Amino acid sequence: MKPDFLRRNGSAFLSHYSRSEQNQMGGSHLKVDDDERNVNDIIQNLAKKLEEHEQRIRFLETNDKIQQQEIIELKSAIHRKDSYMLGAVAFYAYMSHNEITSSPHHILVFDHVVTNSGGSYNPHLGAFTAPEHGVYVFSWTVVCDHGSYANTEILRNSDSIGQILTNSVNNIDYQIATGLIATELNANDVVHIQTHVTEGAKGTILSADYMRTSFTGWKL
């Protein structure tokens, strides 16, 4: 019975087995194709992300270079400013009190110092000593009480290089006058303010919170 059964049904069995095997193999090919597509998609996504990261790195590197250059320029500007401030020569001082004077050749001492960059002004002597050769600007203001006057001059060493008159003799209020000069100085030249060598002053020179008799100067 078995051999006859196999002879009768063997062809059909083999045919069925062959179709089943083909179907399985076809399914395997489809699965392989799907896997390949998935792998390709993953690779493409990774490549895209890698390119985005590389672009980000290039941006950060460029931005870092720009920031480093800005830091260098900022440090250079600070250095220039510090160098300028270290080399700055300027002063401003005023008299801390009123002064009664009636004599010529009287040196005015501006004893209250507000600014003294470079330390070239001496508040005890009322004199500025040039630290180096150059062109300097000086200005002084004198306030006189009513009934007073003051002829003042600015001296470079012993040479008079500028004069002003503050005259309140015929006024019932105080008067103010300001002088301004630019002059060339050599190192160690001395500049100060005094009453005029012949005309002098009479009465009271004022210096209070609401008006200051003052002296200022700076190097160009």
Q: Are 48 and 40 in contact (CB under 8 A)?
A: no
CA within 13 Å, CB half, 40: 6
pLDDT in tens, 52-105: 888 888 888 888 888 888 888 777 666 555 545 567 999 999 999 999 887 788
**DSSP string covering 161-193:** EEEEEEE-TT-SS-EEEEEEEEEEE-TT-EEEE
At 13-31, the pLDDT tens digits run: 445 545 555 555 555 555 6
Confidence category of residue 136, pLDDT binned at 50, 70, 90: very high
Confidence (pTM): 0.62
Q: Please state, in angstroms and rounded to a whole number, the distance separating the CA atoms of residues 120 and 32.
A: 92
Min mean pLDDT across 96-105, 117-126, 201-210 is at 96-105
Across residues 168-180, what is the average pLDDT? Answer: 90
Higher pLDDT among residues 34 and 220, named by residue: 220
